[in-house]
Structure 1
Amino acid sequence: MNTQKLVGALFMALSLVACSGDDDSDSPQQMTNEELIIGKWYFESKTPGSYSDCEKMGYIDFKNDGTFTIESFEDNTSTCTSTGAVTGTYTLINGVNITLMAGTETQTATIQSISQSELVVIDTGSGDVNTFDRTAG
């Protein structure tokens, strides 16, 4: 397991946390960002740059208990291979500012938008924008 790649994936995932709720009027009761963020979010796109099809298999999974798991993938000789999973804890402040902590690493991000199907976050340190969705690949 390449620790440096896992930490890099952690930072990318952190960038995925910052949001202002979804305004869909067809849902009877609006969910909070705290509710919407729970579950598995797959890497979809980033600015600057882009994700390969293999990298889009990577995800961050936020749990109700304040923990998360992030797993990233890389193309290894035409085979998409997991670089390993990292677990840690997260805190969502005011529904928009997220802090991810894994071991001695801490990353912060701001949720730009969130719905039941898409999460867009801005990495507080780099300003990179990461978009996640609920579908692998």
Structure 2
Amino acid sequence: MIITSFNSMSEPEYLQLRTKTLNVMNKPVFHILKTGIVFLLICVLTACSSDDDNTAEPEPAPEELILGKWYFIKIMAADGTIQFPENDCEKQTYYEFEADGTVLQGTYVLDGTECKGNTVTASYELISGGEKLLVTTSDGTANIIEISTLNGKILEIINTGGMKGTFEKR
């Protein structure tokens, strides 16, 4: 029976319906349902908070991001050919940028079965708002290298000949 209005019901019909409703509400299943609804309401009300106290961390400056040891992943020549480290020895090749403006370039090659390394020290300066590196070798030769990517994990540099080197911070 569908009831559209309490006004059209007689008083005994209304009391009978009210008694049935109260009996249903006293059943254990209804108590669980009521408890669940109250719990959800409490969760929703206490979970609301203002985002005003959440301040975003500022992006580190290029001067901070570049610091550390960057290992060779690949080089892409201007013609598009890609060279990866051929062995574990070549994977040791790195650039290490220090806060005092010194950069160490460690180059490793496999000579027969022997891994040979050579380290060159130069100075560096970030220019053009951190988009370029000015590297000066010990003999005074200066090179400007474009930085195409610099984040906490990847450094990509492009030399004047168009060769792009990709390095990973470890």
1:72 deviates by 0.3
Q: RMSD between aligned alpha carbons?
A: 1.4
Q: Given the alignment, which residue of 113, 123, 130 partners 2:149?
A: 113
Look up the equivalent residue of 1:80 and give its one-letter code.
C
Per the alignment, residue 32 of structure 1 pairs with 61
1:52 deviates by 2.2
Per the alignment, residue 128 of structure 1 pairs with 163
List runs of 5+ in structure 1 lacking aligned partners: 1-26
1:119 deviates by 0.5
CA displacement, residues 20-57 of structure 1 (integer Å, 9 cap, x when unaligned): xxxxxxx7221111110011111111102313222221
Write the distance in 1 (CA, Å) between the matches of 2:121 and 2:58. Answer: 32
Give matches, 1:1-137, under 5 Å.
Answer: 28-48=57-77, 49-50=82-83, 51-53=85-87, 54-82=89-117, 84-93=118-127, 94-104=129-139, 105-123=141-159, 125-135=160-170
Q: Which runs of 4+ in 1 moved over 6 A?
A: none
1:74 deviates by 0.4
TM-score normalised according to structure 2 size: 0.59
Q: How many residues align?
A: 107
List runs of 5+ in structure 2 lacking aligned partners: 1-55
TM-score normalised according to structure 1 size: 0.72
Q: Write 1 or 2 for the structure with the bigger share of helix.
A: 2
Write the distance in 2 (CA, Å) between the matches of 1:99 and 1:56. Answer: 25
Write the distance in 2 (CA, Å) between the matches of 1:108 and 1:75. Answer: 29
Per the alignment, residue 48 of structure 2 pairs with none
Max Rg structure: 2
Larger RCO, structure (CA 8 Å, separation 6 or more):
1
